[in-house]
Amino acid sequence: MSLFSGLDLDKEIHKIEIGYFLRFQEFIFQSINEEKKIINESWAKFEKENKGIKTQEGDEYLEHLTNQNSELEDIEQIMFKSYVVSIFTYLETKLVDLCCYIYDKRDVKFQYKELQGTGVIRLVRYIEKTLERKLPNDEEFRDRFTIAIKIRNTIVHASGDLSQSKDKDAIINFAKKETDLIEIENVGPSPQLRIKNAYLNNLTETVDMVINETIFVKKQIQ
């Protein structure tokens, strides 16, 4: 009997791969939190030692800590947005695999590259067109997936600048409803998309569910 008898290899491989992203996510959170702790402890120590006494040197030190905190928030956003782009790249490879599988196994006269568009949207359209089903199949989950694509595209094509995003209204509406996931920062001339910690978990769960559905779809084709 094979060592892998009874195992769903596609699912097992995906479980390992999504685990890498969960560890990557944990690394981001841990790194940022450690830096925040250092800044907060430095601030608390200064206030304890100076007991409200104001000096030019003390003001300069607190300004330095404030700038450090601001820079850390910028780095946090870079890391969060990098995570969004990375996990979507992973999802795209899985969708490409399914599209190629459909072309090989079904009597399909065209490949996904022949459809207009690019990226995840074109791949999903190919799957839906050739299999005559929605992906994801559940309507509520499909809405969640759709807004995730819009957020990703705004990061990649507009660097998070909503004034340059065709999905501005949809993302702003989402931010109003899901305040724990994203927020809109209205500093300067353009509203900026900001990702919150909880969105990384939400997105990972979304991608995980989509890929598990593609694994299910692939089995139906066999």
Which residues, other chains included, contact 213 with Cβ-Cβ below 8 Å and sequence gap of 6+? 135, 136, 137
- Asked if residues 195 and 182 have their Cβ atoms less than 8 Å apart, the reply is yes
pLDDT reported for residue 222: 67
The ranges of the chain with pLDDT < 70 are 1-7, 222
Long-range contacts of 192-195 (CB under 8 A, 24+ apart): 192/160, 192/161, 192/162, 193/151, 193/154, 193/155, 193/160, 193/161, 193/162, 193/165, 194/77, 194/160, 195/77, 195/80, 195/81, 195/84, 195/151
pTM beyond cutoff 0.85 = yes
pLDDT reported for residue 209: 96
pLDDT reported for residue 61: 94
Which residues, other chains included, contact 26 with Cβ-Cβ below 8 Å and sequence gap of 6+? none
CB atoms within 10 A of CB 72: 16
pLDDT reported for residue 94: 97
pLDDT reported for residue 7: 60
Which of these, 160, 159, 204, lies nearest to 182 by C-alpha position? 160
| Residues 82-113: b if buried by 16+ CB within 10 A, e if exposed | ebbeebbeebeebbeebbeebbeeeeeeeebe
pLDDT reported for residue 2: 44
The one-character DSSP state at 108 is -
pLDDT reported for residue 1: 41
pLDDT reported for residue 142: 94
- Asked if residues 36 and 44 have their Cβ atoms less than 8 Å apart, the reply is no
Helices then strands, counting H and E runs in the chain, come out as 6, 2
- Alpha-carbon span 14 to 2, nearest angstrom: 20
Q: Is the dihedral of CA 80, 83, 88, 91 positive or negative?
A: negative
